[in-house]
Structure 1
Amino acid sequence: MLVVFIRTIILYTIVIVAMRIMGKRQIGELQPFELAIAIMISDLASVPMQNTGVPLLHGVIPILTMLAIQIIISFVSLKSTRARNIICGKPSVLISAGKINENVFQNELYTLNDFLEQLRSKDIYNIADVEYAILESNGQLSVVPKAGKRNVTPEDLNLNVKYEAPALELIIDGDLIKENLKNANLDKHMLEAELNKIGIKQIKDVLFASIDCDRKLFCQAKEKRSK
């Protein structure tokens, strides 16, 4: 039993490291070859994990081999546009200038029902509102609505808007994020002083705290303090 436990931890660690090396893209954003490699890696890990009669190296070596293949393919795709088109494919224009490209749908084996479902997920409920629709090589759908159906932007109204940067998380579940604190030009003593103003004496009592580009602090204490 101990052997199985140790083998499981080793294989799990190797798979996690391999997936991290492969990149940060979500499953729905993986290219076909990346998805195939991810599935094969998980399958290769499950065999020696379940069967202690299979040497551990018989699982580790194939996983490392698949990882090496993925890195090589990614590198070739990065350096060569032609290779990228062959390996990953090209985006397909499903609707161009408001016209449905029937042949593209047939070539991609993509039905109108699938297309309408994807449109609804993007809050577009009328195909007539679409100016361009592109099926990306990873299967994601990109849509450009017609000009009259797009959301109004400040630029449309000739409004000047101020710059907005993402808020910096300073404390998450009682843990201080020192890097973000430094990026916000704050130190621990300054943050604690601000927390004291709202009745929080210790950082560990904070559930979440962040600061926005206007230097406004948002903070919420853990529930045990609010009772």
Structure 2
Amino acid sequence: MFDFWTGAPDLPVYGFLIRAIIVYGYVFLLIKVLGQRSMTAINPIDFLFGVIIGDVVGEPLANGENPLGGPLAAAALIGGVHLFLSYISLKMPRFRRVLEDEPIMLIEKGHILHEEMAKAKLTVEGLLMDLRFNNAIDLTEVDYAMLESNGQISVIKKSRFDSLTPADMGQFPKSKGYPTVVIMDGHIIDANLKKVGDRAWLQNVLQQNGFNDAKDVFLMTADETKKVYLSGKKQVKSG
């Protein structure tokens, strides 16, 4: 009856399905406990944790003879060690340098540091590719470029090549804030509506944009300046 947990040479299909559900839920819970991380900014210790966890809990899903308890216990221990190391690195900056590599300066004041590129094992082609990803095609515009600990390259352009901002022109527009979803798939989200207006304001906005009812709207957002985006179920409007 509990072959899905203890393992068996002829584990039936439903046993693998139960194992898959258990492992998925367990890893999901483990990730939630460890905290949210950005996948685009993963550092080496997070990558190592992901690889080991995947190998430990993945084996019982491929081999029905292996018991499930041992791998889950090992995964919990690895997760605990990872959480402990993350906490220590947060509290002790010196120890953080052991877990996370220091950023490497690749370009300084417009000059490419080829010795640092060799240290980072980065080719000129690789550097140029990363600069293109950062919208820095022209090397004469680059002031600094850093290889960050997560493997990405950050670029700081020379001041004269910075984009012109409203502040540069003596203008100080009101902050737009974060767009709030007011209507989603025809349903009004009252908690969000209170942040930007009331029902009367909403009905007025809908009529101005050619909608008689919120049920005709697929998505509506509004920011702090009450700038509205409306996408109908049959057409797209903005205002």
Fold equivalence (TM over 0.5): yes
Q: For the Cα contact (< 8 Å) 2:19–2:61, is it kept in 1? A: yes
Unaligned runs of 5+ in 1: none
Q: TM-score, normalised by structure 1?
A: 0.86
* Match in the other structure for 2:218: 207
Q: Distance in 2 between matches of 1:192 and 1:54?
A: 61
- The code of the aligned residue for 2:127 comes to F
- The reply to whether residue 40 of structure 1 matches residue 52 of structure 2 is yes
Aligned equivalents of 1:104 and 1:200: distance in 2? 63
Per the TM alignment, residue 222 of structure 1 is displaced from its structure 2 partner at its CA by: 1.9
Q: Quick one: which amino acid aligns to residue 23 of structure 1?
A: G
Q: How many angstroms does 1:121 deviate by?
A: 0.8
Mapped pair 1:87 → 2:96: no
Which deviates more from structure 2 when the two are superposed, residues 71-80 or residues 101-110? 101-110
**Does the residue aligned with 2:143 lie in a helix, a strand or coil?**
strand
| Residue 222 (structure 1) aligned with residue 228 (structure 2) | no
Equivalent in 127, 131, 147 of residue 139 of structure 2: 127
Which residue in the other structure is 1:141 paired with?
153
- TM-score if structure 2 supplies the norm length? 0.82
Q: Give the counterpart of 1:162 among 157, 160, 174.
A: 174
Counting only pairs closer than 5 Å after superposition, residues 1-227 of structure 1 correspond to structure 2 as: 1-184=13-196, 186=198, 191=202, 195=206, 198-203=210-215, 205-223=216-234
The secondary structure found in structure 2 opposite 1:53 is coil
Matches of 2:213 and 2:187, distance apart in 1:
14
Query: Counterparts of 1:8 and 1:47 in 2: how far apart (Å)?
Result: 11
Q: Which residue of 1 aligns with 2:4?
A: none
Q: Number of paired residues? A: 222
8 Å Cα contact 1:27-1:35 kept in structure 2: no
| Change in CA separation of 1:190 and 1:64 when aligned onto 2, cut-off 3 Å | farther
